[in-house]
Amino acid sequence: MQAKTVKKTSAFAGVNRIRVSDLVIAFVILLLSLTCILPFIHVTAKSVSSNTAVMSKSVYLWPKGLNFDAYVSIFRDGQLTHSMVYTVIVTLLFTVIGMFITICAAYPLSIRGLKGRPVFAFILMFTMYFSAGLIPEYLLYKDLGLLNTMWVLVLPLCFAPYNMLIMRSFLASTIPDSLYEAAKLDGASHIQTLIKIVLPLSKPILATLSLFYAVGRWNAYADAKYYITAKSLQPLQYLLSNMVLNSGNDAISLAESAAAESTPEVLQAATIMFATLPIIMVYPFVQKYFVKGAMIGAVKG
């Protein structure tokens, strides 16, 4: 059904013969797709190749002298694995709290008769367009005692007004008013209506927004750079940037402390893949929810 309507809107509707231009288009798309996947295959191949093969620059897309020494070093060192577990915990907390607050904001704001709705929406949205800036926020979090705690990675960012907008427009457009009416006639309060009727009907958008929150938190590291100095509280992406990008001082320490047999290059490749694989493995299964969210976001909040 879906495919049928898509085909219909194509400029090609009605003709079934495959033409040269079809193949050209397919080829261009192939090239673009390869640019998105080959870099990661290359780094993966490097991370499981032997030192000599990497040193002689003969590893392209297929590993040579297959071995997992670099990954063994990473696990033996424990720094990255610790950070991975820690980042998972932070991400879960962030997502749960963020979703709770988003629901609390989006549901009342989706109800048309609510008095003062524009004012509340404005208060929630304004911070998206005008931020106090790095230093005032830094001083605030310092006063709140958040610096150098896990919570500075959770609380300041965990409500995203944009996600609230997506949820609000989903609720306003998909929950029929007759359901609210029925709930009211049954004597249900607003909160009962929310829990028993609205949320079960909103499962797809709840999945989508949870993923938006989770991926956003998983990938962000600027706030860790601003607010956290303790090494044990650094999220995975920040650790990666310290190990591979910022002159690689930490990578050397990793090699030393783990008594690694791998060269820095192999170790770096393994570090990169260690941080990348979780996303790449989960991504194909959750991708469709992201697309759904992007569509609703596009239709405008």
Partner 1 sequence: MAQKSVERRDLRAGKMGVYLRNNWQLYALLLIPIAFVIIFKYAAYPGMRIAFMNYKPAKGFSGSPWVGLETFEKVFKDKSFHTALRNSLIFNFLDLIVGFPVPIILALLLNELRFDRYKKVSQTILYLPHFLSWPIIASVMLTLFKPETGLVNVALMNLGIIDKGIPFLTEKWHWAVSYLLIGVWQNMGWGSIIYLAAITGIDAELYEAATIDGAGRWRKIWNVTLPCIRGTMVTLLIMNLGRVMGSNFERLDAFGNVQVKDFQYQLAIYIYEKGLAGGNFSRATAVGLFQSLVGLILVLASDKVAKKLGEDGLL
By C-beta, is 129 or 259 nearer to partner 1? 129
Is 187 a residue that touches partner 1 (CB under 8 A)? no
For the bound state, the minimum distance from the C-beta of residue 68 to partner 1, rounded and expressed in Å, comes to 18
- How far apart are the two ends of the chain, measured CA to CA in Å? 28
Taking CB under 8 A as the binding criterion, the range among 62-70, 72-80, 188-196, 253-261 that sits at the site for partner 1 is 188-196
Is 20 a residue that touches partner 1 (CB under 8 A)? no
Is 29 a residue that touches partner 1 (CB under 8 A)? yes
By C-beta, is 6 or 259 nearer to partner 1? 6
Residues from 157 through 186 that contact partner 1 (CB under 8 A): 159, 164, 177-178, 180-181, 184
Is 134 a residue that touches partner 1 (CB under 8 A)? yes
For the bound state, the minimum distance from the C-beta of residue 66 to partner 1, rounded and expressed in Å, comes to 18
Is 298 a residue that touches partner 1 (CB under 8 A)? yes
Is 230 a residue that touches partner 1 (CB under 8 A)? no
Gyration radius from the chain CA atoms: 24
User: Can you tell me the distance from the alpha carbon of 297 to that of 232, in angstroms, rounded to the nearest whole number?
Assistant: 36
Instruction: List phi, psi (to 5°) of 9.
Output: -80, -10
Minimal CA–CA distance to 168: which of 103, 122, 92?
103
State both tokens at 14.
């009605």
For the bound state, the minimum distance from the C-beta of residue 15 to partner 1, rounded and expressed in Å, comes to 8
Chain Cα centroid distance, residue 175: 27
Is 145 a residue that touches partner 1 (CB under 8 A)? no
User: Can you tell me the distance from the alpha carbon of 253 to that of 268, in angstroms, rounded to the nearest whole number?
Assistant: 12
Q: What is the CA angle 158-159-163, rounded to 5?
A: 120
Residues from 72 through 111 that contact partner 1 (CB under 8 A): 100-102, 104-105, 107-109, 111
Q: What is the DSSP string of 96-127?
A: HHHHHHHHHHHHHHT-TT-TTHHHHHHHHHHH
Is 283 a residue that touches partner 1 (CB under 8 A)? yes
